[in-house]
Structure 1
Amino acid sequence: MEAIERFLVAFSDAAWGLPLLILLMGGGFFFMLFSGFLPFRYLGHAINVLRGKYDDPDDPGDISHFEALSSALAATVGMGNISGVAVAIATGGPGVLFWMWVSAVVGMATKFFTCSLAIMYRGRDTNGHVEGGPMYVIIEGLGRKWKPLAIFFAVAGLFGALPIFTANQLTQVIREVLLQPNGASPADAFYWNLGIGLVLVFVTSLVIFGGIQRIGQVAGKMVPSMVVLYMLAVFYIMFANYTNIPAAFALIFEDAFSANAMLGGAVGAIIIAGARRAAFSNEAGIGTASMMHGAAKTDEPIREGLVAMLGPFIDTIIVCTLTGLAIILTGAWQTSDGNGVLMTATAFNSAMPGIGSYVLVLCVFIFAFTSLFSYSYYGTKCFGFLFGAKYKYYYNYFYVFTILLGAVASITAVLALIDGMYAMMAIPTMTSALLLSPKVMRAARDYFTRMKDFKEELKVKR
């Protein structure tokens, strides 16, 4: 097992080198400049689309704009926001948070392009059903000669969409925060992990075998409540430590550029750590969200791109920042022995003695289950693309089985596997988006011209 773990860590570290950083963050900066910051100028319109102002039940697709964003957020606003941020700070120090912000801003532009393309170049699976995602963008947008790149994405997606990290961290927090303080023996950790994993398999199966409509309905109900609950908890921590807030932000900015400690004084390594965790958290440029937004009921690609753009803002700028501030304000990043969710638990317990850990467990439950529900959809789409749509639901059996593997595996091996596969998924996603970006801009100019003309017509009629 140790040999496998070393191999996965080496694979992940090699994948997340300078070339991928240039592709993800450099590509995001290109999208911002190439668009003239266009998507950022239409945030109000994006919110109106999200509210359902332009919904048409007769449009092609499976779920509404709101359900598409909620389902994508159900996957992204998950354990990456609670334990992923803690892992980042433990690895690279508080300055990592600054580079996560930078990644999120450029990620908003990336999401606009990749998710607009997911609607613009939807294809059909072997059952004739309309599907979206990077593999269809590559074939429909670049041509069938690019199919090997689409296959490469789908193969990486089979493993990148696995629930092992979420299962691992949820199992850990249940065992160490709830069970062991109440008498469970650490010597029996494996059996507790296995038992918790079996419960997770049962609950997850109830939802994911119902398909994307059920996932979208559940996510649409759970995501708003989980974000609000988590925000209230962290706002309390911030209020309890309000005098330390200016110093916390000063530390973040100072550490982002001074690169003291942790990563050998290499600013570039801290940037990579921030980009790596931001990509794991908001998935901009990875391609998973494109698959979810590609299922939206719309025939206007730009509308879905605008809605998708809100994802990195909610996920990283808001939720990840809250986690990071809780950890920094309470000093948990210096005092905790945990490298993940337990560091966040230390922060919550420090600010809310006796109940903080339990509040976090409640948040973790909601975050984790919405992620477990949503990620299965990505894997089934990749499986259906590779082996045929009529077989895609077989992937769910593999998916729930790996929940057990994640529950009993080490966090190091789990995180390395997912990180490495995310890196592989980013290559075809960003390559196709960069090559097709001029077509997105042509569609955007056409769309906003039509919207302007539509508003002028309304004024005349009034």
Structure 2
Amino acid sequence: MFKTLEGLVADFSSWVWDWPLLVLLIGGGLFFLIYSRFTPFLYFPHAIDVLRGKHNNDNDPGQLSHFQALSSAIAATVGMGNISGVAVAIVTGGPGAVFWMWISGLIGMATKFYTCSLSVMYRSEEENGNLLGGPMYVITRGLGKQWKPLAIFFALAGLVGTLPAFTANQLTQTLVDVMGWEENHKLYIGLVLAILASLVILGGIKRIGLVASRLVPFMVILYFITVITILIIQIEEVPHMFGLIFSDAFSGNAIAGGGLGHLIKTGIKRGAFSNEAGVGTAPMMHGTAKTKEPIREGLVAMIGPSIDTLLVCTLTALAILSTGVWQYSDSNGISLTLQAFNAVLPYGLGDVVVIIMVLVFALSTLFSYSYYGTTCLGFLTKPKYGKYYNYIYILSIIVAAVVKIDFAINLIDSAFALMAIPTVISGLVLAPKVNKMARQYFKSIQKI
């Protein structure tokens, strides 16, 4: 019975993350991109000013500053996929897959602008005055009560999709592999992770935002410095590497076969996994931002995919391509990234950097994802009961660390895909509302 269920979930996960979800996320993102006439991109410098705090007002409603909201959202999306997922894209699709990851990132920026603007536009207020946002509130408050089943559908999928099974399991496995520990150490690693996570997530959204705003700049800067060092050492390979990305992007020479279609699908799929634009997680975080201007927060959210996919994923890709390890190694995922770092950096330094990055990336993901689950449970019950999700979340970290969780990962991936359906549908229907408010906002800042 369980084997049958396991097979069904695995088949569904494989199917839905193929063309169905790519059409939904990329098709929806292309609509947002064209419908906006690329206008939000023209205000990217303004978004940076907002992020720097230039337009902050302590009297505005909300719990997190623009910087904390973006940091928390990035903390959730910048994770194992940025280290191992890029390697998988290159191994299965070739260097050209990186180009299509960039395309996915650009499209994802438009999606984040719309979905996160809507999250602030239609957020809900708790009894204690805290504000809540996310696709479920966008649906019920923006589309009307008759659409509530779609909101419930999102929240139920969110309870499963935001569990930390993949991150906790992969982090534990990485530590065991790199450090040479025994398999029975996994339980102790899981307990330590659970304790670390509980210290942050039980403190609520403000503590999550505070910790994320410290961790995210550190991890991005460290990763940037490391890869730039590798590129300086390999400087003669850089022109050839970029030429290879662009020439291979349209050649159809995907390593795993399947031609140009397989290559495009591989790059876009990995990009979509990386930035999660359209899934509906980031709007829950950006919905807590301290602002009265929904469009302002939409512009800040747009920065997310540019950091996650266009910067961090590109850094990983450049490290792998410049060292050439992808051509002769049988490794994949994080092992390939580790080989790339060790191929150039002094002996042992690559291991240290990757371990630090994996720890920081994974922990930041664990901290932020807990908030998404509490928001979903709070919507299904009452906001004050949402905090009880944290105890299930902490327990699942320990369980995920010690078991083989192919079934759980497929289940979570499937739930993630299901979350995207209400998110993109509500975004498409309410896009005219965003455009109307955007025109007013852009006109107002031009007068300043």
* Structure 1 length-normalised TM: 0.92
Q: Does 1:278 find its partner at 2:271?
A: yes
Post-superposition Cα deviations, 1:203-253, rounded to whole Å, max 9, x if no partner, equal 111110000000001111111111000111111111222222222223323
8 Å Cα contact 1:302-1:443 kept in structure 2: yes
Q: 1:425 to 1:272 in 2, by over 3 A?
A: farther
Match of 1:357 in 2: 351
Q: In 1, Cα distance between the equivalents of 2:240 and 2:404? A: 35
Q: In 2, Cα distance between the equivalents of 1:263 and 1:332? A: 17
Match of 2:416 in 1: 422
Match of 2:298 in 1: 305
Offset at residue 198 of structure 1 (A): 1.3
Q: Select the residue among 393, 397, 400 that pairs with 1:399.
A: 393
Offset at residue 308 of structure 1 (A): 0.4
SS in 2 for 1:52: coil
8 Å Cα contact 1:163-1:372 kept in structure 2: yes
Alignment of 1:84-95 (within 5 A): 84-95=85-96
Match of 2:201 in 1: 208
8 Å Cα contact 2:165-2:405 kept in structure 1: no
Offset at residue 271 of structure 1 (A): 2.6
Post-superposition Cα deviations, 1:388-426, rounded to whole Å, max 9, x if no partner, equal 222211111111222123323447555533432222111
Alignment of 1:305-344 (within 5 A): 305-344=298-337
Q: 1:145 to 1:127 in 2, by over 3 A?
A: farther
Q: 1:134 to 1:94 in 2, by over 3 A?
A: same
8 Å Cα contact 1:125-1:388 kept in structure 2: no
Q: Does 1:18 find its partner at 2:19?
A: yes
Q: Does 1:269 find its partner at 2:262?
A: yes
> Which residue identity lines up with residue 427 of structure 1 in the other structure?
I
Post-superposition Cα deviations, 1:328-350, rounded to whole Å, max 9, x if no partner, equal 22233344444322221111111
Offset at residue 299 of structure 1 (A): 1.0
> Which residue identity lines up with residue 279 of structure 1 in the other structure?
A
Post-superposition Cα deviations, 1:49-90, rounded to whole Å, max 9, x if no partner, equal 111111111111111111001111111122221122223333
Offset at residue 259 of structure 1 (A): 3.1
8 Å Cα contact 2:96-2:246 kept in structure 1: yes
Q: Does 1:156 find its partner at 2:157?
A: yes
Q: Select the residue among 250, 259, 282 that pairs with 2:243.
A: 250
8 Å Cα contact 2:223-2:357 kept in structure 1: yes
Offset at residue 20 of structure 1 (A): 2.3
SS in 2 for 1:28: helix
Q: In 2, Cα distance between the equivalents of 1:177 and 1:4? A: 34
Offset at residue 128 of structure 1 (A): 6.4
Offset at residue 140 of structure 1 (A): 0.6
8 Å Cα contact 2:254-2:262 kept in structure 1: no
Match of 2:132 in 1: 131
Q: 1:336 to 1:404 in 2, by over 3 A?
A: farther
Match of 1:408 in 2: 402
* Structure 2 length-normalised TM: 0.94
Q: In 2, Cα distance between the equivalents of 1:257 and 1:364? A: 32
Q: In 1, Cα distance between the equivalents of 2:405 and 2:241? A: 28
Q: In 2, Cα distance between the equivalents of 1:405 and 1:34? A: 45
Greater mean deviation of Cα atoms: 194-203 or 207-216: 194-203
8 Å Cα contact 1:169-1:341 kept in structure 2: no
Equivalent pairs, count: 446
Q: In 1, Cα distance between the equivalents of 2:296 and 2:420? A: 23
Q: In 2, Cα distance between the equivalents of 1:423 and 1:271? A: 19
Alignment of 1:43-192 (within 5 A): 43-125=44-126, 129-178=130-179, 180=180, 184=181, 188-189=182-183, 191-192=184-185
> Which residue identity lines up with residue 215 of structure 2 in the other structure?
M
> Which residue identity lines up with residue 279 of structure 2 in the other structure?
I
> Which residue identity lines up with residue 417 of structure 1 in the other structure?
L
Q: 1:193 to 1:217 in 2, by over 3 A?
A: same
Q: In 1, Cα distance between the equivalents of 2:403 and 2:249? A: 32
Offset at residue 3 of structure 1 (A): 6.0
Q: In 2, Cα distance between the equivalents of 1:110 and 1:234? A: 29
Q: In 1, Cα distance between the equivalents of 2:389 and 2:89? A: 31
8 Å Cα contact 1:8-1:417 kept in structure 2: yes
SS in 1 for 2:250: helix
Match of 2:40 in 1: 39
- Percent identity between the two aligned chains: 58
8 Å Cα contact 2:62-2:130 kept in structure 1: no
Post-superposition Cα deviations, 1:312-357, rounded to whole Å, max 9, x if no partner, equal 0011000000011112222333444443222211111112232211
> Which residue identity lines up with residue 211 of structure 2 in the other structure?
V
Q: In 2, Cα distance between the equivalents of 1:52 and 1:68? A: 12
Post-superposition Cα deviations, 1:123-170, rounded to whole Å, max 9, x if no partner, equal 235766421111100111111111111111111111221212221221
Q: In 1, Cα distance between the equivalents of 2:440 and 2:26? A: 27
Offset at residue 379 of structure 1 (A): 0.8
8 Å Cα contact 1:72-1:293 kept in structure 2: yes
Q: In 2, Cα distance between the equivalents of 1:205 and 1:142? A: 36
